[in-house]
Structure 1
Amino acid sequence: MASRPVVPQQIRGEAVIGGGKQAKGGAAADARNRRALGDIGNLVTVRGIDAKANRPITRSFCAQLLANAQAAAKAENNKKQVHVNVDGAAPILDGGVVAIKKAGAPKPAHKKVAIKPTSEVIEISPDTVEKVQAKEVKCANKKKEGEGVSKKKAQTLTSVLTARSKAACGVSKKPKEQIFDIDAADVGNELAAVEYVEDIYTFYKQAENESRPHDYMDSQPEINTTMRAILVDWLVDVHNKFELSPETFYLTINIIDRFLATKIVPRRELQLVGIGAMLIASKYEEIWAPEVNDFVCLSDRAYTHEQILVMEKKILGKLEWTLTVPTPYVFLARFIKASKDSNHEMENLVYFLAELGIMHYNTAMMYCPSMIAASAVYAARCTLKKTPAWDDTLKLHTGFSEPQIIDCAKLLVGFHGVADKNKLQVIYRKYSSSERGAVALLQPAKALLALNVGGVH
């Protein structure tokens, strides 16, 4: 008797893959699709969702689960008003917070059912909530800081009264002084050399110490500072009689000091050194230099023609023919120009103070030529009560601040105060004439003598 073939009955709750059609591959494929009853009867995993399966997981039932999860996530999102990232995984409710099971779920052995969500799924986790909250706090802090910066500081009654008191006492902050262009008027003058005048004076400042004589009086057994002052006073008179240029006079004094610093000279030849130095300076600076016989007559024939020429040759040999040196005059011309409001009275007073300075040995040896020139300008401005006595323009072009030159300026003012009582009267008489503006008769700047190094009474 033929037996009827037994058809295996489908287990309740098992999802048939591919709409119930058997996969290709025959018995082998059928064997692979069979699962033990304990693997699929109680727990089913769909895209990370663990749920108790008390009914078959169909497409419609799975879509319903997704819709319920999305609705719960949307309601929770509306309560917290938190914007989060979008993910395609299906969420579940975990303690009132929507979370995603990304790991730990058992992987099903059979093929996963492809399920397309009908709408976007919102992913919310404790980490993302904390990040969003921190971002919101940071934005709030920035907003507060911006409001604090944008708000103007309200003026109080105390601040207003303090500002008015400072203004009344002259303590209020003054605007910064502008530096005056002293070469603007000489742009078209080729002799002014505006293009490289600053480079010239930068070189002068560097070279003035190279040609500056050292303190030599201790090495001269027969010469003292008084003899030197007498010689300078006499040369000022000779310079006026020959009507020589100021450059010649200052170069003459420079040649004398440099020569005496290298050669011991007896007292009887000191005047001869002065004559030879002025002859050399005249040939260097003047268009028509005085003749040797003129110097013989001025010296009351104390020296012969030959002696003057021999001394001239000796001086040039000791100085190695170095005559291009920065004297106080080159700085005086520049610094007077930087004074802006200078006039003939100002110029004559500056030259008067500078000549008094170089006539005194200690001043000539202690300070460099640029320092003497700057101090003469400062002392002259104080004497004429110019305000301010020293400004940024003078500081720029001289290279000295007011405290740096005040000591030398005090010496020059002191020489001015006793010039009328000094035995050497040539310089005083020269600048007491109307041709020189009678600047020697002006009252010295006694207020400057009361200042200390810091410029404070």
Structure 2
Amino acid sequence: MKLYMNTEQDYTIDIFSRMMKRQSKHVLQAVDIPEAVTPEMRTVLVNWLVQVHEFLDLHEETLYLAVYLMNSYMKVHKIQTLFLQLLAVSCLFIACKMEEKLIPQPADLCFMMEDAFSKKELLKMEKKVLYRLRFELQYIQPLHFLRLLSITGKCPENVEYLAMYFMELTLLEADGAMIEPALLASSALSLAQMVFQESGILSPDPGGHVPLYSYSDADLILPRQLMGRAALRARSDSKSSWKKYSRGQRHRVSTGPAMSSPKHLSRCIGLL
């Protein structure tokens, strides 16, 4: 399989193959989702975490890793709903240490929680997460698959950003944690291309998207529907990700011409 990478092409094939083999171990099952954390709780929590992440100007990988660590902790250890915010911030703190050059200070993170928890409580929760997860803190990022797809398919930057927007919305959904990272990325990019084509911004043949994976169109349907429905709700509810991707540095993809009418997206996921 030729990936057409500009640099380190020999290593890219090995890295890609390893990512594909290891990605399934990072997917949650339905039984792993704690019943005590309702879908509404999860949406509110991750929506707030997106706000904190953007305010601190952190890397995109940091957000995905933080949510993954939070999911993983709830899989292996019960958490009282009272401490969900503390867990989320502790996971973000750990993710920053893995992905960022400049690490937020614990006092700043406590301030983001309106000092509902102290620095001591934050550091104690950090230790609990590290212990329960046995310091297994890395996972296969869907963002990495998306970037590979975008490069090999020579996708326009606005299409890639719309795909990133769709993927980020799945962080708010428990079902999103049960989708393989490569399938998530493939579905997001596929949906972004479809929306741009439906709106008339891209021609029916956008030019050279080469699929990297063996997923069929049938495999992409359910993830695309999950993302599409989440995007329709995000616009009406003014979710943090919707606001984040309405900004100029992200091509305003959540509010731009392709997403200006809900009909475009609804047709792409089969609602019209």
Report the TM-score when normalising by structure 1.
0.54
Cα offset, 1:265, TM superposition: 0.4
CA 1:291 to 1:218, structure 2 compared with 1: closer, same or farther past 3 Å? closer
Q: How does 1:111-122 map to 2 (within 5 A)?
A: none
Q: How does 1:2-401 map to 2 (within 5 A)?
A: 182-183=4-5, 186-187=6-7, 193-216=8-31, 219-221=34-36, 223-340=37-154, 342-365=155-178, 367-385=179-197, 386=202, 387-388=204-205, 393-394=210-211, 397-401=212-216
Cα offset, 1:432, TM superposition: 1.6
Larger relative contact order (CA 8 Å, sep ≥ 6): 2
Number of positions where the alignment pairs a residue of Structure 1 with one of Structure 2: 261
Q: Counterpart of 1:373 in structure 2: which amino acid?
A: A
For the aligned residue pairs, the C-alpha RMSD in angstroms reads 2.3
Q: Counterpart of 1:447 in structure 2: which amino acid?
A: R
Q: Counterpart of 2:181 in structure 1: which amino acid?
A: P
How far apart, CA to CA, are the structure 2 residues paired with 1:281 and 1:212? 18
Q: Counterpart of 1:297 in structure 2: which amino acid?
A: F
Q: Is the CA contact 2:246–2:254 (under 8 Å) kept in the aligned structure 1?
A: yes
CA 1:235 to 1:405, structure 2 compared with 1: closer, same or farther past 3 Å? same
Q: Is the CA contact 2:150–2:160 (under 8 Å) kept in the aligned structure 1?
A: yes
Cα offset, 1:414, TM superposition: 2.4
Cross-structure match for 2:269: 449
Q: Is the CA contact 1:180–1:393 (under 8 Å) kept in the aligned structure 2?
A: no
How far apart, CA to CA, are the structure 2 residues paired with 1:216 and 1:407? 19
Q: Counterpart of 1:351 in structure 2: which amino acid?
A: M
CA 1:328 to 1:392, structure 2 compared with 1: closer, same or farther past 3 Å? closer
Helix, strand or coil: the match of 1:359? coil
Cα offset, 1:332, TM superposition: 1.6
Q: Counterpart of 1:301 in structure 2: which amino acid?
A: D
Report the TM-score when normalising by structure 2.
0.88
Q: Deviations over 1:42-78 (max 9, x none)?
A: xxxxxxxxxxxxxxxxxxxxxxxxxxxxxxxxxxxxx
Q: Is the CA contact 1:379–1:410 (under 8 Å) kept in the aligned structure 2?
A: no
Could you tell me the percent identity over the aligned residues? 23
Gaps of 5+ in 2: none
Q: Deviations over 1:378-423 (max 9, x none)?
A: 00000111434797721xx13323222122112212222232212x
Cross-structure match for 1:131: none
How far apart, CA to CA, are the structure 1 residues paired with 2:25 and 2:72? 11
Helix, strand or coil: the match of 1:326? coil
Cα offset, 1:213, TM superposition: 2.7
